[in-house]
Structure 1
C-alpha cells in the first residue's frame, strides 16, 4: 500500500534572515564571495568534461581495405588505427620527397 506524503512548502527567508545569513557567510574567512574576475573566469563543467580537443583534428571517412591489411594492423593490438595512420603519413612524406 502506498503512502501519500505531503510536500513541504519551501519557505524563503525573510529580509532580516537573509541579511543575517549573508553577514554570517561574509564573516567566514574560508567562504568569501567570489571576485568579479573569478566569476568571469568560470566555465560550465560540461565544457571541461570529456576528452581534450586535439589541435590535429582528424576527418571521419569510410574506406575499404583488403582483409589482410586490416587483420595485420588489428593483430598489432590497441592503437592499430593510429599505427595505420602513421604508416600512411610516412608514405606521404616519402612520396613528397621523391617528387621534389
Structure 2
C-alpha cells in the first residue's frame, strides 16, 4: 500500500507499554491535552456552538444530490465512437459541451 502509515510491533512490546501506562492510540493524549480556549478577540476563531454545527450539517444534507427542478432529462443515445471520443478527449464537462453543440445546431436547423 503506497502511503501506508502502519507500523508493526510485538505483543510483548505492546503489553510492556500498556503496563507503563502508555495508550494503544493517541486518543488518551488528545483527551489529556488542554481544551481549546477562545480569547474572545477574533470572532473568526470562535468555536462553533452545538446549534451552529447542527444547522450547518442540516444545510449540507439539504444540498446533496441533484438540484431540484432541473430541466434535464436522462436518456440513452447511440453515437459514433469517433464523435464520442472527440468530446471525451476535451476533458471534464464534455457532456455539457456536447449539449451546447446540439443546441447551437438547433439554431440553424429544424429537426424533422
TM-score by length of 1: 0.45
Larger Rg: 1
